[in-house]
Amino acid sequence: MAGEPSGDALGAELVRAALGIRPTLSLFGATGPELESAGVERVVDTRELSVMGLIEVIERLPAAWRALAKLEEAAADRPADGAILIDSPDFNLRLAGRLSGRGIPVVQYVSPTVWAWRPGRVRALERSVRRLLLTLPFEVAFYEDTGVDAVYVGNPALDRLPDRPAPRAEVAPRLALPEEAPWVAIVPGSRRGELERVAPALAAAAARVAAAVPEAVFLAPVAPGLEPAEVSRALAAGPPVTLVAEGRLEALGHAAAALATSGTASLELALLGVPHVVAYRAAPATYAAARLLVDTDWIALPNLIAGATVVPEFVQRLDPAALAAPVVTWLTDPDARAEVVEGLAGVRAALGPPGVAARAATAALEALGV
């Protein structure tokens, strides 16, 4: 069960590793194109469920309830020997309760953010989930005194890094970018809501960077599930941008700095050693509710992992000048940039070695007994 594009990609990595261990597995569930290409039969289309924010979720509740019923029915009819549910905790904890009530063991891959808000969800994990696969190292301590079988398998972003990144001299002509110019990445996220609320502010900040550092050139990755035209429209207020659909991590690794939406993209940039600012903006009602519920000092994954502010964060009020200022500093002050790069190296070391998909698949199959 994957409820959004990032979960679809994560699930596909796990499925390929699982099939390498147990080639006879038969898999079905809520899928996007990545899971389907990995060999999972679609029962529910992930695109029906992919939303972010408290208010936005309410609008999609009818589709979510229909999907719950379809997945529960399919699992009961087959019947399923086990379930692997990926991220999407609001949906998946409900599904886990239904499946475990039918005697179907459940593994949840990616912990809910119980360390930041709604810690009561731990009880739902204890009741309905046989094993929880953790992807952030600081989560281990949180679960030590609970009844949850929580196993840290590493962060999947580690497996996505290029083994042997192509040198800049090869990447530059492929993207039609000047090799000697500083490259600045604009990373607008993988959800359409992020494109609407955050990308225009990133584009406006990029325009400020371009004015301060005229030799800078800009590139933007196109996340799986998005169309290049969508990204281009969202960034229209900024300077000219080269869109990168293939080899995006390889291209990002050569960026001198980046402007990024909060989420997995920030962690990927951290692992690539790219200094970046992190921006987050929710619908006003969602943000107002979150301020009452969330208890955490940071939202950016590199900062959460480090337990300190390694990269600047900007939440809700996304002033282009403020977003641009650190980027301009990194492009013009090598010592300031080197300090951030050193902090990002510590984040990468904290996550451990690659091979995450294989460890996650092994831990999941072991827990399910298949």
Kindly indicate the confidence band of residue 47, based on its pLDDT and cuts at 50, 70 and 90. confident
The pLDDT score that the predictor gives to residue 190 is 72
| Residue 295 burial by Cβ neighbours in a 10 Å radius (0-12, 13-18, 19+) | exposed
Q: Give the model confidence (pLDDT) of 199-246 as tens digits.
A: 999 999 999 999 999 999 999 999 877 889 999 999 999 999 999 988
The pLDDT score that the predictor gives to residue 267 is 93
CATH no. for residue 329? 3.40.50.2000
User: Residue 51 pLDDT more than 60?
Assistant: no
Domain containing 99 equals 5-159+354-368
CA dist 5 and 227 (Å) reads: 13
Instruction: Give the distance, in angstroms, between the CA of residue 281 and the centroid of all CA atoms in the same chain.
Output: 16
Residue 338, classed as helix, strand or coil, is helix
User: Residue 60 pLDDT more than 90?
Assistant: no
Tally of domains within the chain = 2
The pLDDT score that the predictor gives to residue 187 is 93
73 and 198 both lie in a single domain: no
CA dist 90 and 109 (Å) reads: 13
CA dist 352 and 350 (Å) reads: 6
31 and 136 both lie in a single domain: yes
- Return the residue matching tokens 């955050």: 198
C-beta neighbour count of 22 within 10 angstroms: 10
The pLDDT score that the predictor gives to residue 332 is 98
Rounded average pLDDT over 305-328: 95
> Cα-flanking dihedrals φ and ψ of residue 366, to 5°?
-60, -45
96 and 200 both lie in a single domain: no
CA nearest to 274, candidates 187, 221, 340: 340
Q: Please answer whether residues 303 and 311 qualify as being in contact, where contact means their C-beta atoms are separated by less than 8 angstroms.
A: yes
- 148 DSSP assignment: -
CA dist 118 and 290 (Å) reads: 11
CA dist 27 and 38 (Å) reads: 10
The pLDDT score that the predictor gives to residue 52 is 45
Which one has a higher pLDDT value, 339 or 59? 339
- Range with the lowest mean pLDDT among 57-71, 134-148, 308-322? 57-71
Q: Give the model confidence (pLDDT) of 180-189 as tens digits.
A: 999 999 999 7
User: Residue 81 pLDDT more than 50?
Assistant: yes
Kindly indicate the confidence band of residue 53, based on its pLDDT and cuts at 50, 70 and 90. very low
